Amino acid sequence: MSDPTPILRAAALSKTYLSGDKTLGVLSGVDVAVASGESVSIRGESGSGKSTLLNLLAGLDRPDAGELFWGGEAAHRLTLGELTARRGRFLGMVFQAYYLIPEIDSVANVLMAARLLGGVGNAERARAAALLQRVGLGERGHHLPSQLSGGERQRVAVARALMNRPQVILADEPTGNLDERTGDEVISLLLEVCAEEKTALVLVTHNPAHAARTARKFSLHNGVLGVVA
């Protein structure tokens, strides 16, 4: 990696869940480091622990063991309030289900990321408009999510994830609700805009063609993360 200090690093992450009287191991000693501006994919079948790993990397869940570093900061030592405040500036997230607010238009959905950090001014409005233009929705800014196609909704979600200039984008099966052609377009968009913004991308996917497009590739099987040559 070009940067000696990874922008995102996980060391020996492990996670188990209780199911009745049984303990189920989901992740076991996962190590991963992502450089600033780098694209990384994590591929695995359903139930392999991909979403659990992404939730741990996002600080949305706590590991049973291991360490997590955001830009060199020990995120695993932060309080819940500190994690929440730091996450809004450090991370952007794109989900399979879009999670757009149905009652507000595309611009307002993109601006919601900035509102969560405290306020919206002219600079934020200009950035939201520019991001929508960049993702091909410059003329759809005042459309509600219900007036957009699935691919257009995901493009709004990508713009929202980039709104606060995060250092890392975590994308959890972002094409899962899309047809093949539209999914390919969304992956191309993610890779292109993250490169332009110099934002690292961690793409979780079950799609081998999408995984193959990132700079580095990992596979997750039975809770163990391995490098794909």
Q: Write the pLDDT tens digit of every residue in 47-75.
A: 889 989 999 999 999 999 999 999 999 99
Label residue 21 by pLDDT band (50, 70, 90). Answer: confident
Residue 114 has pLDDT above 50, yes or no: yes
Q: Radius of gyration (Cα) for the chain, nearest Å?
A: 17
Read off the amino acid at residue 213: R
- What is the average per-residue pLDDT within 167-182? 95
pLDDT above 70: percentage of residues in the chain: 98
- Quote the CA–CA distance of 78 and 198 in Å, as a whole number: 26
Looking at the DSSP bridge assignments, the partners of residue 201 are: 39, 169
Confidence of residue 3 (pLDDT cuts 50, 70, 90): very low
Q: 10 Å Cβ neighbour count for 92?
A: 27
Is a pLDDT exceeding 90 seen at residue 229? Answer: no
Span 110-130, mean pLDDT?
94
Q: Looking at residue 4, what is its pLDDT? A: 61
Residue 49 and residue 26 in contact, taking contact as beta carbons nearer than 8 Å:
yes
Return the pLDDT at 15.
Answer: 95
Residue 12, CA distances (Å) to 65, 66, 75 in order: 7, 5, 14
Mean pLDDT of 157-183: 96
Whole-angstrom Cα distance, residue 69 to residue 56? Answer: 11
Average pLDDT over residues 193-208: 95
* Average pLDDT rounded to a whole number, residues 190-219: 95
123-134 mean pLDDT:
97
Q: Can you tell me the mean pLDDT for 130-144?
A: 96
- Residues 40 and 202 sit within 8 Å (Cβ to Cβ): yes
Confirm if 60 and 68 have CB atoms less than 8 A apart. Answer: no
DSSP-assigned beta bridge partners for residue 13:
30
pLDDT of 77 over the 60 cut: yes
**Which pLDDT score, from 0 to 100, does residue 2 have?**
44
pLDDT score for 1: 40
**Do the Cβ atoms of 113 and 164 come closer than 8 Å?**
yes
CA 30 to chain centre: 18
Distances (CA, A) of 114 to 40, 69, 76, 141, 162: 26, 24, 25, 16, 10
Q: Locate the domains of the chain by residue range.
A: 8-228
- Place domain 8-228 in its CATH homologous superfamily: P-loop containing nucleotide triphosphate hydrolases (3.40.50.300)
Q: If you average pLDDT over every residue of the chain, what do you get?
A: 93
pLDDT average, residue stretch 144-162: 97
Confidence at residue 47, expressed as pLDDT on a 0 to 100 scale: 80
Type and span of the H or E element at 31:
strand 22-34
The confidence band for 119, taking pLDDT boundaries of 50, 70 and 90, is confident
How wide is the angle at C-alpha 191 spanned by C-alphas 149 and 180, nearest 5°? 45
Task: Say yes or no to pLDDT of 36 above 90.
Answer: yes
Q: Are 130 and 137 in contact (CB under 8 A)?
A: no
Q: Which two tokens stand for residue 126?
A: 């200009």
